[in-house]
Amino acid sequence: MSDPGFRHELDGRRHASVDERWAGGLPAQYGVAPRVRIGRDKWFNLLWLILIGFVLLIAGIAVAKGLRNIPAVQDFIRAHPGSSEPPAGTPEGIPAWLGWQHFLNLFLMIFIIRSGLSVLADHPRLYWTRNSTPGSEWYRMHKPVPDDPTYTAKADSISLPNGVGLPGRRHSIGLARWWHLGVDTLWLLNGVVFYVLIFTTGQWKRLVPMSWDVFPNSVSVAIQYLSLDWPLENGWVNYNSAQLIAYFVTVFIAAPAALVTGLGMSPALSTRFHRISSVLSIQLARSLHFLVLCWFLMFVVVHVTLVFTTGALRNLNHMYASNDGGSWLGFGVFAGSMVLVTVAWVAASPVTYRYPRVVQRIGFALIGPAQRLFEHIDSKPGRYTDKDISPFFWANGRVPESAEYLALQEGGFRDYRLSVYGLVDNPVDLDLDQLRAMANHEQITQHFCIQGWSGVAKWGGVSMQAVLDTVRPRPEAKWVVFYSFAQGSEEGIYYDVHAIEQMSYHLTMLALDMNGEPLNYHHGAPVRLRNEAQLGFKMVKWIKGIEFVDDFKDVGGGLGGYNNDHEFFGYRQSI
Ligand SMILES: Nc1nc2c(c(=O)[nH]1)N[C@H]1C(S)=C(S)[C@@H](COP(=O)(O)O)O[C@H]1N2
Ligand SMILES: [Mo]
């Protein structure tokens, strides 16, 4: 075949660090204070909550103090002093393993929360439905979306300061995700060990409410705390009812909900398990995931405040020295652990910028097995119908500007040829008429961008299986490379590599039409890929060539895609 291929148009470099010039050297773009939509188009700035919360606290204290002068309330508090009797056989005290797990949990959650905020900042809007229509979000921390068809989802991402986000900079979603998903696996592991140990040692009895009187008791605790006349506590033996409910919700509701809502954003799982994904859409999952974060943040603030105001030394001895004494030992251990936390907190961003490939490798070692596993799940057709098609579909990426492409576009793509070559028995150059003459394949599916937005569209064109049947890949062909007319964010053309296994999936196709019209310029004219088991960045737009290879280490930077070479993404992105 005469075609020399497209590899020479790729950028052969791969980035090893993040500096000022990285990702086109785009300046940081900061968003606005978080706000929530009220009604149609009024926005409430959440910073007001600090003031409102303070006022409510003062008012609550006044009310509670008043209540305690009422004889009926005094009777109520006498009848419900604040805690239920612990069930028989409840162990006393906090064992050392629990202290260790508590610390590990706290330590890991810092990085999960920071990187999670960075992920959110990449599409700083939350929606209740799977359509990510500008203006329909219930939460945003960015200005309204401008009415401009060339505005991309990438341009809409914002930066977070280094110490807040992880890594904190614009377009570093790849690194944010390695942190988030990698540390998640450690956190889940810690959680599994915790579950096993609490159920084998009976410690669970201290965390699970066993009688209905936790409710009146927790009301009583709230009145006592708010009236600033606090009950006598003995957390070594038994938690008060409000504490019990808070711990129960955190351990048995919030933590599992974080996992379930996290997995609800996976393209591979969502396109396979329709029953679940029709209820838990990616955007609902994302919104709930955010609310779980809000719970954890609220919990941390109240928990830490109360630890320090209700007998700090004794409380710290419980969790950090497993004893019930009043010495400074627990405080010492706690202070030492905080030094570790501070060093890790401060170092995380600069270390990530200096050694992004190390972060990527560790992240992949941790979450890679799950990503590989989910990749083997063939997507299931038939989830969506015409009425599900999203009214708005974000566009992303850098449009093609080469003379080569513009000339083809000028001629209505009459001279367009799709070269399919490499390790195949029958390499072909297909024009659009030939592609359209192949069996028509149509699907209505949901797109999952790595940034977090989604949209449903109807795609028409050719199933990848039909292309395989035409070119007949050789047994050595393991990977399929898709080359674009468009440049990536920096040097070289955009490309991405897919496992050959996924090319035969039900929902893998070359799309020529979107929602019944030929693809437009922004969405990838004349041909783009759809592989619904993967995230959006793998679906190359403006395709000019497809090459079958046995290995991708000699393609571009060798990491399996433009974003992997340049922005530290991964090549398996089923989650
Ligand atoms: N050539 C090329 N293809 C690309 C991109 C790109 O930057 N260049 N961006 C990807 C990303 S990140 C996404 S989310 C989808 C967006 O497709 P859409 O613009 O049709 O929504 O295209 C993918 N394909
Ligand atoms: Mo994307």
pLDDT digits (tens, 9 = 90+) for 16-58: 888 877 776 677 889 999 999 999 889 999 999 999 999 999 9
**Closest C-alpha to 548, from 474, 484, 492, 489:** 474
Q: Which residue has the higher pLDDT, 4 or 394?
A: 394
Q: Which 3 state secondary structure label does DSSP give 44?
A: strand
Q: Are strands 543-549 and 418-422 parallel, antiparallel or unpaired?
A: parallel
Please give the helix or strand (H or E) that residue 470 lies within, else none: helix 464-471
Which of 495, 541, 571 most suits a substitution to test ligand 1, by most atoms within 8 Å of the C-beta? 541
* Ligand 1 pocket test target in 510, 539, 543, 562 with most atoms within 8 Å of CB: 539
Judge whether 54 and 197 are in contact, CB under 8 Å. Answer: no
Q: Give Cα 96 distance to the centre of its chain.
A: 33
Burial of 55 (0-12, 13-18, 19+ CB in 10 A): exposed
Domain count, the chain: 2
- The gap from C-alpha 71 to its chain's centroid, in whole angstroms, comes to 52
543 assigned to some structural domain: yes
Residue 364 shares a structural domain with residue 221:
yes
Helix axes 96-122, 173-201, angle to 10 degrees: 150
Q: How far is the CA of 510 from the centre of ligand 1 (A)?
A: 14
Q: Which of 340, 374, 408 is the last residue of a domain?
A: 374
**Residue whose CA is closest, atom 23 of ligand 1?**
537
Whole-number percent of the chain with pLDDT over 90: 91
Three-class HEC string of 2-30: CCCCCHHHCCCCCCCCCCCCHHHHCCCCE
Q: Give residue ranges with CB within 6 A of ligand 1.
A: 393-398, 449, 484, 486, 494, 522-524, 536-537, 539-542
Residue 234 CA, ligand 2 centroid: distance in Å: 52
Q: Given the structure tokens 């957390």, which residue do they identify?
A: 235
Q: What DSSP state is assigned to residue 490?
A: S
Residue 435 in 3-state DSSP? helix
Q: Atom 20, ligand 1: which residue's CA is nearest?
A: 523
Q: How far apart are CA 493 and CA 128, in angstroms?
A: 36
Note down the domain range covering 561. 6-17+378-567
pLDDT in tens, 208-220: 999 999 999 999 9
Q: Is the peptide bond before 167 cis (omega within 30 degrees of 0)?
A: yes
Amino acid (one-letter) located at 179: W
In a shared domain, residues 181 and 324: yes
CA of 449 from ligand 2 middle (Å) equals 4
State mean pLDDT over 525-554: 97
- For ligand 1, atom 16: residue with the closest CA: 396
Ligand number, closest to the Cα atom of 539: 1
Q: What's the pLDDT tens digit per position in 186-244? A: 999 999 999 999 999 999 999 999 999 999 999 999 999 999 998 878 899 999 999 99
- In a domain, residue 30? The reply is no
Using the mean position of ligand 1's atoms as its centre, give its distance from the Cα of residue 142 in Å. 22
Considering the domain architecture, whether residues 404 and 288 belong to the same structural domain is answered as no
Domain endpoint, select from 307, 340, 374? 374
Residue type, 445: T
pLDDT band at 2 (very low <50, low <70, confident <90, very high): very low
Phi-psi region of 530 (alpha: psi -120 to 50; beta: other; left: phi over 0): beta
Closest-lying ligand to the alpha carbon of 177? 2
Residue nearest to atom 19 of ligand 1 (CA): 395
Q: Answer whether 133's CB lies under 8 Å from 391's CB.
A: yes
Going by alpha carbons, the residue nearest to atom 5 of ligand 1 is 397
Residue 574 has a pLDDT of 93
Q: Is residue 575 part of a domain?
A: no
Statement to judge: residues 296 and 421 lie in one domain: no
- 487 and 434, same structural domain? yes
pLDDT value at residue 545: 98
Q: Which atom of ligand 1 is nearest to the CA of 394?
A: 21
Is residue 313 situated within a structural domain? yes
Give the residue, by CA position, lying nearest to ligand 1 atom 8. Answer: 397
Residues 302-333: tens digit of each pLDDT? 999 999 999 999 999 999 999 999 999 999 99
CATH number of residue 450's parent domain: 3.90.420.10
**Same domain for 341 and 424:** no
| Whether 368 contacts 464, CB under 8 Å | no
- In sequence order, which ranges of 273-355 are alpha helices (DSSP H)? 274-279, 282-309, 312-321, 329-354
Mean pLDDT of the chain: 95
DSSP type of residue 37: E
Predicted pLDDT at 4: 66
Q: What is the 3-state secondary structure (H, E, C) of 280-301?
A: CCHHHHHHHHHHHHHHHHHHHH
Contact predicate 10/495, CB 8 Å: yes
* Atom in ligand 1 nearest the alpha carbon of residue 485: 1
Rg (CA), the chain: 28
Q: What is the pLDDT of residue 170?
A: 60
| pLDDT(162) > 90 | no
CA distance 258 to 260: 6
Residue 28 counted as domain residue:
no
User: What pLDDT digit, counting tens, does each position of 457-474 carry?
Assistant: 999 999 999 999 999 999
Residues 196 and 324 in one domain: yes
Do residues 345 and 259 share a domain? yes
Residue 26 lies in a domain: no
Ligand 1 centroid, distance to 392 Cα (angstroms): 15
Ligand 1: distance of its center to the CA of 556 in Å? 18
User: Is the pLDDT score of 118 beyond 60?
Assistant: yes
| CA distances to 63, 140, 157 from 569, in Å | 54, 25, 16
Q: Are residues 419 and 296 in the same domain?
A: no
Listed residue (571, 545, 560) closest to 486, CA to CA: 545
CA of 394 to the centre of ligand 1 (A): 10
Are 82 and 219 within one domain?
A: yes
Which residue is it, tokens 């785009």?
26
Give the model's pLDDT for residue 509: 98
Report d(CA 16, CA 358) in Å as an integer. Answer: 9
Complete DSSP assignment for 543-561: EEEEEEES--TTSTTSSSB
Length of the chain equals 575
How far is the centre of ligand 1, averaged over its atoms, from the C-alpha of 104 (Å)? 38
Ligand 1 centroid vs 24 CA: distance in angstroms? 17
For residue 21, what pLDDT is reported?
Answer: 74
Atom of ligand 1 nearest to the CA of 489: 7
For residues 361 and 418, state if they share a domain.
Answer: no
**Please, which pLDDT band fits residue 171 given cuts at 50, 70 and 90?**
low
Q: Mark which of 374, 402, 418 sits at the end of a domain.
A: 374
Ligand 1, atom 6: closest residue by C-alpha: 397
Q: How far is the CA of 494 from the centre of ligand 2 (A)?
A: 13
Query: Structure tokens of 519?
Result: 């693809």
Counting ligands in written order, the one closest to the CA of 395 is: 1
- What does the pLDDT average to over 540-556? 97
Please choose from 9, 11, 396, 484 the residue to mutate so as to test ligand 1's pocket, defined by most ligand atoms within 8 A of CB: 396
Residue 227 near residue 68 (C-beta atoms within 8 A)? yes
The structure tokens listed for 381 are 């057709």
Query: What pLDDT is attached to residue 372?
Result: 92
Q: Do residues 309 and 451 both lie within one domain?
A: no
- Whether residue 573 is contained in a domain is answered as no
The residues, any chain, with a CB within 8 Å of residue 444's CB and separated by 6 or more, are 383, 384, 385, 386, 388, 389, 456, 457, 458, 459
CA 43, 49, 51, 53: dihedral to nearest 10 degrees?
150
Mean pLDDT of 396-410: 97
Note the helical H segments in 31-172.
Answer: 48-67, 71-79, 96-122
pLDDT tens sequence across 249-290 = 999 999 999 999 999 999 999 999 999 999 999 999 999 999
Evaluate whether residue 574 is within a structural domain: no
